[in-house]
Copies of this chain bind each other. A is one copy, B any other.
Amino acid sequence: MKLLEERIKKDGQVFPGNILKVSSFLNHQIDTALMLEMGKEVDRLFGKDKPTKILTVEASGIAIATAIGVVMGLPVLFAKKHASKNLSGDVYSSPVHSYTHGNDYNMIVEKRFLSSGERILIVDDFLAVGGALHGLLDIVKQSGAELCGCAIAIEKAFQGGGDALRSEGIRVESLAVIERMDDSSVTFRA
């Protein structure tokens, strides 16, 4: 998606450790107009697959998932990373290792919101190694819901997570796919 690629080139910052900071428009400050355009593109990609619900994970996935939900007229369900007093009843749970934050957590979704009648579109802001995405896919599998595929804002292809999932037959559509990046430039997949 040209608009997102241009924005990454303009405002993204590359830091050591394969870190791409897009805090000014995607995951700290949110450009809601850009989110809406991304929502329209995801609708173009997945609308004909008739998803019934969007699944993402807190925190930064919520903004883009909400925008996509608004455009596609779908409810959004976000997995939680921490058990809290407000989460009760039967839950699906999947252990995830975060390479970004260097910690482990349980991804949790209440069972009553995900079941075999649903068609799920998974959404997240970033895909690198794929830790969070594997957790979400695991939860969809546990629930018996059907998977339409995964819509990602930015994929760092050189970290392999996206292509590994594609080779397993899972549909992964990323709006910007970064083949490589260094201090001075970001190169997108053609």
Contacts and interface: CB of A to CB of B under 8 A. Distances in A.
A19 B31 CA distance: 33
Q: How many copies does the complex hold?
A: 2
Contacts of A36: 70
Interface stretch (A60-68, A144-152, A164-172): A60-68
Contacts of A23: 86-87, 110, 113
A19 B87 CA distance: 11
Contacts of A88: 15, 21
A70 B29 contact: no
A30 B77 contact: yes
A1 interface: no
Interface in A56-104: 58-60, 62-63, 66-67, 69-70, 73-78, 80, 82, 84-88, 100-102
Interface of A: 15, 17, 19, 21, 23-24, 27-33, 35-36, 58-60, 62-63, 66-67, 69-70, 73-78, 80, 82, 84-88, 100-102, 109-110, 112-113
20 contacts: A15-B88, A23-B87, A23-B113, A24-B112, A28-B77, A29-B75, A29-B76, A30-B69, A30-B75, A30-B76, A30-B77, A30-B78, A32-B75, A35-B66, A58-B58, A62-B62, A63-B63, A66-B67, A85-B100, A85-B101
